[in-house]
Amino acid sequence: MTEPRITLSGITKTFPGVRALHKVGLELYPGQVTALIGENGAGKSTLVKTMTGIYQPDEGEIRINGKLVELSSPHAAFRLGITAIHQETVLFDDLSVAENIFLGHAPKTWLKTIDWRAMQANARALLDEIGAAHIHADARLSELSIANKHLVAVARAMSIDAEIVIMDEPTAALSHKEIADLFELIELLKKSGKAVLFISHKFDEIYRIADRYTVFRDGEMVGHGMIRDTSQNDIVRMMVGRSVDQIFPKRDVVPGEPVLTVAGYSHPTEFADIGFTLRKGEILGFYGLVGAGRSEFMQSLFGITKPSKGAIRIAGEVAVIRSPAQAVERGIVYVPEDRGKQGAAIGVPIFQNVTLPSLSKTSKNGFLRLAEEFKLAREYTTRLDLRAASLDQDIGNLSGGNQQKVVIAKWLATQPRVIILDEPTKGIDIGSKAAVHEFMGELVAQGLSVIMVSSELPEIMGMSDRIIVMREGRIVEEFDNDAALDAETLVRAAAGISEAAA
Q: What is the pLDDT along the chain (502 residues), one digit of tens a residue?
A: 578 999 999 999 987 667 889 999 999 999 999 999 887 668 888 999 999 999 999 999 999 999 999 999 988 998 898 988 876 666 788 889 999 888 878 889 898 898 899 998 999 998 888 778 888 988 998 888 777 887 888 788 778 778 899 988 877 666 677 788 888 888 888 988 999 999 987 788 889 999 999 999 878 999 999 999 988 878 877 876 654 445 677 667 788 899 999 999 999 889 999 999 999 999 999 998 767 889 999 999 999 999 999 999 998 899 989 899 899 889 999 988 766 566 677 778 888 888 877 777 777 877 887 888 888 888 878 877 777 778 888 888 877 777 878 888 888 888 889 999 998 887 666 677 777 788 788 888 888 899 999 887 788 888 999 999 998 899 999 999 887 888 778 888 887 865 544 4
Q: In 10 A of CB 340, how many CB atoms?
A: 16
> Around 333, how many Cα atoms within 13 Å sit in the side-chain half-sphere?
19
Same fold, 6-240 and 246-331+417-497: yes
* pLDDT at res. 38: 83
Q: Does domain 246-331+417-497 correspond to CATH entry 3.40.50.300?
A: yes
- DSSP SS3 for 11: strand
Q: Nearest-CA neighbor of 224 among 502, 386, 26, 449?
A: 26
Indicate the length of the chain as a whole number. Answer: 502
Structurally, what CATH architecture does the domain formed by 6-240 represent? 3-Layer(aba) Sandwich (3.40)
What is the rounded average pLDDT for all residues in the chain?
84
Domains of the chain, by residue range, sit at: 6-240, 246-331+417-497, 343-415
The CB density around residue 329, as the number of other CB atoms within 10 Å, is 13
The pLDDT tens digits for 416-435 are 899 999 988 876 666 777 77
Record the pTM. Answer: 0.60
